[in-house]
Amino acid sequence: DAGITQSPRHKVTETGTPVTLRCHQTENHRYMYWYRQDPGHGLRLIHYSYGVKDTDKGEVSDGYSVSRSKTEDFLLTLESATSSQTSVYFCAISGSAGDSPLHFGNGTRLTVT
């Protein structure tokens, strides 16, 4: 799995609570991404990072924030979880070029009740 670890793998939380998902890589790749996967929607980019402390928004960034204080760690935070954020979240890493393959982690299944 290209040295990518997502934690936790499963989480159930209540509406309105904060949640942080962690992605840890051992590949020293510059680029890191957070995607969500939902039936009928495929994979949608939430946020991405192109370096330490350098992040930008993706297609579905509302309600999410990210931080990257070290090359190896990329955190995704739901400040106040909502039921619409129930999803499977994938972290991915890649090299610098646009045709570099994305290497995905095994995902975090988040349920917001």
Partner 1 sequence: QQQVKQSPQSLIVQKGGIPIINCAYENTAFDYFPWYQQFPGKGPALLIAIRPDVSEKKEGRFTISFNKSAKQFSLHIMDSQPGDSATYFCAASKVQGGSEKLVFGKGTKLTVNP
Binding site for partner 1 (CB under 8 A): 1, 4, 31, 33, 40-45, 48, 50, 56, 58, 90, 92, 94, 96-107
Virtual CA dihedral for 1, 82, 73, 59, nearest 10 degrees?
80
Minimal distance in Å, beta carbon 36 to partner 1?
11
Pick between residue 75 and residue 102 the one whose CB is nearest to partner 1: 102
Residue 14 or 53 having the CB closest to partner 1: 53
Give, as one character, the DSSP assignment of residue 85: G
Minimal distance in Å, beta carbon 102 to partner 1? 6
For residue 101, give the DSSP letter.
P
Smallest gap from residue 43 Cβ to partner 1 (A): 4
The C-alpha atoms of residue 13 and residue 19 are separated, in whole angstroms, by: 8
- Tokens 């579905």 map to which residue? 60
